[in-house]
Amino acid sequence: MKTTLDRLVQISRPYTRNGTLANYIPELTKANANALAICICDHTGNCTQSGDFNTPFTIQSVSKVVTLLYALESYGEDVFSRIGVEQTADAFNSIIKLETRNQGKPLNPLINAGAIATIAYIAEHEGKGTFRKLSAFLRKMAQNDAIHVNQDVYASEKRTGDINRALAYFQKGANSFSASVNIVLDTYFQMCSLEVHVKDLARIAQVLTNNGIIIETGERLFSEKTARMTKSIMTTCGMYDSSGHFAVTVGIPSKSGVGGGILSVVPGRYGIGTLGPALDEKGNSAAGVELLSLLSQELNLSIFQ
Amino acid sequence: MKTTLDRLVQISRPYTRNGTLANYIPELTKANANALAICICDHTGNCTQSGDFNTPFTIQSVSKVVTLLYALESYGEDVFSRIGVEQTADAFNSIIKLETRNQGKPLNPLINAGAIATIAYIAEHEGKGTFRKLSAFLRKMAQNDAIHVNQDVYASEKRTGDINRALAYFQKGANSFSASVNIVLDTYFQMCSLEVHVKDLARIAQVLTNNGIIIETGERLFSEKTARMTKSIMTTCGMYDSSGHFAVTVGIPSKSGVGGGILSVVPGRYGIGTLGPALDEKGNSAAGVELLSLLSQELNLSIFQ
Amino acid sequence: MKTTLDRLVQISRPYTRNGTLANYIPELTKANANALAICICDHTGNCTQSGDFNTPFTIQSVSKVVTLLYALESYGEDVFSRIGVEQTADAFNSIIKLETRNQGKPLNPLINAGAIATIAYIAEHEGKGTFRKLSAFLRKMAQNDAIHVNQDVYASEKRTGDINRALAYFQKGANSFSASVNIVLDTYFQMCSLEVHVKDLARIAQVLTNNGIIIETGERLFSEKTARMTKSIMTTCGMYDSSGHFAVTVGIPSKSGVGGGILSVVPGRYGIGTLGPALDEKGNSAAGVELLSLLSQELNLSIFQ
Amino acid sequence: MKTTLDRLVQISRPYTRNGTLANYIPELTKANANALAICICDHTGNCTQSGDFNTPFTIQSVSKVVTLLYALESYGEDVFSRIGVEQTADAFNSIIKLETRNQGKPLNPLINAGAIATIAYIAEHEGKGTFRKLSAFLRKMAQNDAIHVNQDVYASEKRTGDINRALAYFQKGANSFSASVNIVLDTYFQMCSLEVHVKDLARIAQVLTNNGIIIETGERLFSEKTARMTKSIMTTCGMYDSSGHFAVTVGIPSKSGVGGGILSVVPGRYGIGTLGPALDEKGNSAAGVELLSLLSQELNLSIFQ
């Protein structure tokens, strides 16, 4: 596996030049655009890494998967009374569908509007403890107590998060949630600013691969049903408005973030984390997508076989 | 004139039942839904009133005309580099066109997004003094130093103004303005909360009728060109997404507000203020529109003769 | 007047280079992009011409004004049960609002979808004679029996009119009209292909200036009310999605066509026709708009004075 | 299996009352709204049926899967240069995204606009033989030479297919394809009008289950890659704008039609055809979706396990 990963990282590395760093959060422009890394954990918990796996990065939208898992496991399908599960052909931060459809109900929990709505839903139950509980859940999935908020990125997100503020206020104004906008956005910005490594993403993915069980301890974090629903939403909505294209070319339930990370779940087999901060025009890691595509072909990982 | 107005108010009064009070600002639901009033000032400054002309009301979106006048007179056509002058077929508080067109440039200064942008433009030059200067300008036009902010409505606007917050943050996030969102929104909410009577609207309109000159003092407040541009924008955009219908049936440059007021300018002849808090589904005073329609037919006031 | 027109044509001529010929109807690309002409007829019927007034051109969307006049005069305000009178901020041939608003009711009669709906409305009453009656009405307004269909342009329109076919079939599919799509489109294409000179447009405009009366014969072609409604719709909707900008800078009720013609009505004073085939990005004659802007300033023609 | 199917059909039957017959094609309103049927073929070719499996119905949009398979197998991924693979949150016959995105490139091949584009793409290579070849391919997959066009439905589709005409003409007008609109639409209407039984859908699905091989004859009709791409597109786009919800609750790559049919592929295991003409508000069979949901839970058929 190590040899395979090293070879595919080498082949995919040039694709880092096909993307650009996210620039709407100034702090993200400090990342190394040429970085590329992968970690893959099998169903027994054995992990293999390659490339720049020591490079830290903020989790950004990959955290939306953890938020969704927490919400589904805690409150069940009632979550879907507030957030849809349909893909949109609009951009990741679009506000249009909030207005023309569903009167303020976001299309799905893996785009910004929907993740904000999911956090608002949780915050209505958990109040100010929302971030503490969500981040603890994430650390447990990753089995890494050292994961913390990158304060510089967090400050940068807060300073420049006006589109997310618009998404939150629009939903609040449409009476889509009752939680405090400030608490919701603060939780959202902190979750996005958690600093991780590819191994953390791979371990989080691996719990999904095992349908909720931490393999080393046998502890069940969430039910099979929660895992199944989450994997299906990742498949149809996880890669922004190229989710359909990713399903055709890669076929692995995944979620990307503008920090360059991608979390991928091969059911019953592998949890995968990749990093490549240079993004394509859809907001997904350019080299990360290429690397996953090659890996999927080589190891027959598509769920659509 | 008094006889005519009394008769038309009586005929139009039943139309107050065709509308409903604005309910998204809770304080506005306390208005008298059956009220109907008109004040008409001729070009010599002689004013005639009828109906419930002693009923106070908040100016709401009618203030957008004063903000536009101030901006055009102070900074000229450069204002249009930041705000368009096209009508939209979307609702008054729509955010869609901000996203799909013009990358954050609002369509016109008489809808919420555009008034927010106009205030932001002014605030970039005037800073914290923006509200003081705008409200002083409005009092001067109305020749009424007693006009003040209704603090209950202002507090209600602030509490429930989340859609306007979304409009402001979206534009800020699209780098459409650099002013402080808080100052801009606070100015916007205060301007909307100014308490007036129909005579105040009629006097403000009368200055436009006289192309910028206060008839009693001979003082020029703004240029003919500023007046002409403002009257044209009121004609194409002043009555939300029924501006075209209003042009066909009434034909008088006007601006309505959800407080039930309408300010109307008959060039060279009359400044008119009406009040009717019950609104039609477009957000315009139901009985006010009917009253103006009858008046326009009876006195041949349409500019499209 | 002749001296004034000659001077303004000379000043405006360079603006022909700011536009490009319409290219979606191949035949239109054969026009002379540098042509510029104007004809102005006063309320006594006295006409003055300047520039390339002998250049023929197809009337295109300017014919929508004549279709609207015919419909309003024949069937009254019932027309508005089928076609709105609101401006749109979408492009002239947009299909979006047909779907998201009004379930197939076009926004106004001066955009493609609305003109097609107006012709369909007439055709439901007049059947196959629709084009004959509409073109006879146009010839009478222009007092020019020689106006005929340019067969090359007509053939070109038919060959390439697929977007207009889409607009018609979409409305038919939404049950917005019951007339035959083929008759409607054929009438539409023929009306657009009528070949005229600037004097024809000026004479048609002049009948509107005189509120329906042909000055030479005293014959009334339509009522004052029909004239007033049409002038108001021209003001709010006549120049596609720059109607608001045109109102601010020119202030004359007008209608443009992609053949380069503009018909303008100065109430009580002038009927004006201009030609300038090079179009700006909104689809209006680049030099024609400039020429009308200068003329409006020089002769104080804005209705918003 | 027979016992299971009988029981689930009985439980699901009441859900036929939750839907209504498609009414935009008049001929479809003649169907039996209470019908419910299923056929399931395992990977060895053994088929089991239950319910009203003798009821014939027109295949409608289920044929889009066969058209897509034919296109991908014949011309490879070049198909995606003309048609996208993203889900839309707009309705199945929406024209909006054609205009606002991709300049006439439809979002995916399983909505009307995209199926029309796919047929146009094929017709540019195959000309007038397009329907003959597509229908022969479908008959071969179903191993049923008796499948034919229902002439009454075909005539009804042609008479009332104006929205589809609009979709075709809009794309033609945007230069998205060069094929004849008449040939394309005629092929589209004929493909939709093919009359089938649930067993035909199950057999077609079974070839996809076996990744392109007809199990009885060993003949390969298409490659594994074509099968994989098609299954992924069915998953993300096959159930109109409830594809995401269907993935969460059922998790089987499927395609529905307004005739009430659904074709479902359980990779490596089952090909399934269901019929239930009463449709939910998304245009999918109400009872068919319920039946598949129960079957998926009982037999663990979700690909997201």
Question: Which residue type does A295 have?
Answer: L
Query: Which of C100, C160, C166 comes nearest D166 by C-beta?
Result: C166
In chain B, what residues touch A166 (CB-CB under 8 Å)?
95, 165-170, 173
Q: Which of B283, B285, A157, B282 is nearest to B272 (CA)?
A: B285
Q: A301 pLDDT band (50/70/90 cuts)?
A: very high
Contacts of B222 (CB under 8 A, 6+ apart): B69, B72, B73, B212
Q: A233 pLDDT band (50/70/90 cuts)?
A: very high
Q: B257 pLDDT band (50/70/90 cuts)?
A: very high
Q: Name the interface residues of A facing B (CB cutoff 8 Å).
A: 94-96, 99-100, 160-170, 172-174, 181
* Location of structure tokens 């209704």: B150
Contact C244/B87, CB-based, under 8 Å?
Answer: yes
In chain A, what residues touch B162 (CB-CB under 8 Å)?
169-170, 172-173, 181
Q: How far does the CA of residue C96 sit from the closest CA of chain D (Å)?
A: 5
* Location of structure tokens 């066969």: D66
List, for residues B41-75, the tens digit of each pLDDT value.
Answer: 998 889 999 999 999 999 999 999 999 999 999 99
Q: How far does the CA of residue D96 sit from the closest CA of chain C (Å)?
A: 5
Q: What is the mean pLDDT of residues D38-50?
A: 95
Q: How far does the CA of residue D137 sit from the closest CA of chain C (Å)?
A: 31
List, for residues A152-192, the tens digit of each pLDDT value.
Answer: 999 999 998 999 999 999 999 988 999 999 999 999 999 99
pLDDT at B89: 58
In chain B, what residues touch C245 (CB-CB under 8 Å)?
84-86
Q: What is the mean pLDDT of residues B137-164?
A: 96
Beta bridge pairs of residue C50:
C38
List, for residues D247-275, the tens digit of each pLDDT value.
Answer: 999 999 999 999 999 999 999 999 999 99
Mean residue pLDDT across chain A: 93
Query: Which of D99, D100, D166 comes nearest C169 by C-beta?
Result: D166
Give the other-Cβ count within 10 Å of D46's Cβ: 11
Q: How far does the CA of residue A98 sit from the closest CA of chain B (Å)?
A: 9
pLDDT at A98: 63
Q: Which of A124, A121, A89, A119 is nearest to A107 (CA)?
A: A89
CA distance B154 to C146: 66
Which residue on chain A is closest to B174 by alpha carbon?
A163
In chain C, what residues touch D160 (CB-CB under 8 Å)?
173
pLDDT at B24: 77
Contact B90/C85, CB-based, under 8 Å?
Answer: no
DSSP string, A161-209: -HHHHHHHHHHHHTTS--S-HHHHHHHHHHHHTEEE-HHHHHHHHHHHH
C vs D: CB pairs below 8 A: 59
List, for residues A183-209, the tens digit of each pLDDT value.
Answer: 999 999 999 999 999 999 999 999 999
Q: Which chains does D contact via 3+ CB–CB distances below 8 A?
A: A, C
Query: Which of A99, A100, A162 comes nearest B169 by C-beta?
Result: A162
- How far from the centroid of its chain's Cα atoms is residue B79's Cα? 18
Catalytic residue among B61, B254, B256, B293: B61
A64 is catalytic: yes
Query: Which of C90, C244, C302 comes nearest B85 by C-beta?
Result: C244
Contact B95/A99, CB-based, under 8 Å?
Answer: yes
Q: How far does the CA of residue B255 sit from the closest CA of chain C (Å)?
A: 15
In chain B, what residues touch C242 (CB-CB under 8 Å)?
86
Helix axes B181-192, B130-142, angle to 10 degrees: 20
Residues of C assigned a catalytic role: 61, 64, 188, 240, 258
A vs D: CB pairs below 8 A: 116
Q: What is the mean pLDDT of residues B262-280?
A: 97
Q: How far does the CA of residue D247 sit from the closest CA of chain A (Å)?
A: 6
Give the burial class of B44: count Cβ atoms within 10 A of its Cβ; 0-12 exposed, 13-18 middle, 19 or more buried: exposed
Query: Which of B94, B160, B164 comes nearest A99 by C-beta?
Result: B94
| Residue A94 clears pLDDT 80, i.e. is over it | no
Contact D166/C162, CB-based, under 8 Å?
Answer: no
Catalytic residue among D61, D176, D254, D256: D61
A188 is catalytic: yes
| Residue A100 clears pLDDT 80, i.e. is over it | no
Catalytic residue among D66, D153, D184, D258: D258
List, for residues B95-121, the tens digit of each pLDDT value.
Answer: 666 665 555 688 899 999 999 999 999
User: What is the share, in percent, of chain D residues with pLDDT greater than 70?
Assistant: 94
In chain D, what residues touch C112 (CB-CB under 8 Å)?
none
In a mutagenesis test of the C interface, which of B83, B86, B90 is the best target, namely the one with the most C β-carbons within 10 Å? B86
Contact B170/A181, CB-based, under 8 Å?
Answer: no
Which residue on chain C is closest to B229 by alpha carbon?
C248
In chain A, what residues touch D88 (CB-CB under 8 Å)?
87-89
CA distance A110 to C237: 41
| Residue D295 clears pLDDT 80, i.e. is over it | yes
| pTM, 2 dp | 0.93
Question: Which residue type does C86 have?
Answer: E
In a mutagenesis test of the A interface, which of D248, D250, D252, D284 is the best target, namely the one with the most A β-carbons within 10 Å? D248
Q: Which helix (H) or strand (E) holds D74?
A: helix D63-75
| Residue B131 clears pLDDT 60, i.e. is over it | yes
pLDDT at A24: 77
List, for residues C183-210, the tens digit of each pLDDT value.
Answer: 999 999 999 999 999 999 999 999 999 9
Query: Which of A99, A161, A174 comes nearest B96 by C-beta?
Result: A99
Q: Which helix (H) or strand (E) holds C124?
A: helix C112-126
Question: Which residue type does D183 have?
Answer: I
Start-to-end CA span in chain B (Å)? 21
Catalytic residue among B15, B70, B240, B270: B240
Q: Which of B293, B226, B300 is nearest to B15 (CA)?
A: B293
Contact C96/D99, CB-based, under 8 Å?
Answer: yes
Q: B260 pLDDT band (50/70/90 cuts)?
A: very high
Q: Which domains does chain D possess?
A: 2-60+195-298 (3.40.710.10), 63-192 (3.40.710.10)
Q: How far does the CA of residue C236 sit from the closest CA of chain B (Å)?
A: 5
Alpha-carbon distances, residue C79 vs B242, C70, D277 (angstroms): 17, 11, 39
List, for residues D185-220, the tens digit of each pLDDT value.
Answer: 999 999 999 999 999 999 999 999 999 999 989 999
List, for residues C84-132, the tens digit of each pLDDT value.
Answer: 998 865 665 666 666 655 556 888 999 999 999 999 999 999 988 999 9
Query: Which of A95, A164, A169 comes nearest B162 by C-beta?
Result: A169
Query: Which of C96, C169, C174 comes nearest D169 by C-beta?
Result: C169
pLDDT at A43: 87
Contact D236/A251, CB-based, under 8 Å?
Answer: no
Contact A233/D253, CB-based, under 8 Å?
Answer: no
Give the other-Cβ count within 10 Å of B145's Cβ: 9
CA distance C87 to C97: 11
In chain D, what residues touch C163 (CB-CB under 8 Å)?
169-170, 173-174
Q: How far does the CA of residue B80 sit from the closest CA of chain C (Å)?
A: 10
Does residue B47 contact residue B215 with C-beta atoms inside 8 Å? no
Q: Which chains does A contact via 3+ CB–CB distances below 8 A?
A: B, D
A vs B: CB pairs below 8 A: 59
Query: Which of D89, D211, D228 comes nearest A87 by C-beta?
Result: D89
Tell me what ipTM this predicted complex has. Answer: 0.94
Q: How far does the CA of residue A12 sit from the closest CA of chain D (Å)?
A: 21
Catalytic residue among B62, B64, B231, B270: B64
Question: What string of pLDDT tens digits covers the 305 residues of chain C?
Answer: 999 999 999 999 999 999 999 887 888 888 999 999 999 999 888 999 999 999 999 999 999 999 999 999 999 999 999 999 988 656 656 666 666 555 568 889 999 999 999 999 999 999 889 999 999 999 999 999 999 999 999 999 999 899 999 999 999 998 899 999 999 999 999 999 999 999 999 999 999 999 999 998 999 999 999 999 999 999 999 998 899 999 999 999 999 999 999 999 999 999 999 999 999 998 999 999 999 999 999 999 999 99
Does residue A261 contact residue A275 with C-beta atoms inside 8 Å? yes
